[in-house]
Amino acid sequence: MSRPVPTPNFDGRRALIVHRPHVLVDAIARQLAQLGIRHEVIWPDLPAGFVADASDLLFYDADMGHDGQFPWEAGHIPMPAVALIGSEAPGRLAWAIRMGADAHLLKPVGSGGVFSALVIATEAFARRSSLHQELDGLRSRLDRRQVVAEATACLMLQDNLSAGAAYAILRRDAMLSRLSIEDMAERIVSQLRGGHVRHRP
């Protein structure tokens, strides 16, 4: 069963509109004001030393935008992002997608649409952030599994043990030291790489 999506409250948040001055920007600004969102219009580039906040909201021009406008890598926008799309040229759409748009708003912008775009963008951003965290966790677990395998191989070679016996020693030493198996493995590998004699608990 899918979880319900709560309606977000945007009151007090900040929106960055990366777009040249235009009636489109005025239309977005009016809708943001109705939602209690303050805004800043920035063009062509974000200022040097700009620090993004995950609570910020981003609108960016997909028609005239370019990679150099942003201090982050493509696909890693650190806030919910709405692409402002006027041209449906494949290259422009591909750029908007590559940048990591969470939602889009078609030009010209009238008296509505901003709220819906922000609701979709914030939900997509939350899911994107969760996936990135999960991926980072999986990578960390994979790296730590590799050190367990390395420590097991070191014990096998040092004490002429089978893989099962070496792993049993690793697990026992971890329990006696009140460490995780991964932390114990890192300690063993570090000791052996440094040429130190390993002292068992």
Q: Give, in words, the CATH class of 14-134.
A: alpha beta
Q: How far apart are CA 127 and CA 80, in angstroms?
A: 11
pTM of whole model > 0.85? no
Q: Give, in words, the CATH class of 137-193.
A: mainly alpha
How much is the pLDDT for 110? 92
Domains 14-134 and 137-193 share a fold: no
pLDDT tens-digit map of 78-93: 999 999 999 999 999 9
The string over 53-76, giving b where at least 16 C-beta atoms fall within 10 Å of a residue's C-beta and e elsewhere, is eeebbbbbbbbbbeeebbeeeeee
pLDDT bucket at 20, cuts 50 / 70 / 90: very high
How much is the pLDDT for 198? 56
Q: How far apart are CA 39 and CA 73, in angstroms?
A: 23
Residue boundaries of the structural domains of the chain: 14-134, 137-193
Q: Is 198:191 a contact under the CB 8 Å cutoff? A: yes
pLDDT tens-digit map of 137-176: 777 777 778 888 888 888 888 888 898 898 899 999 999 9
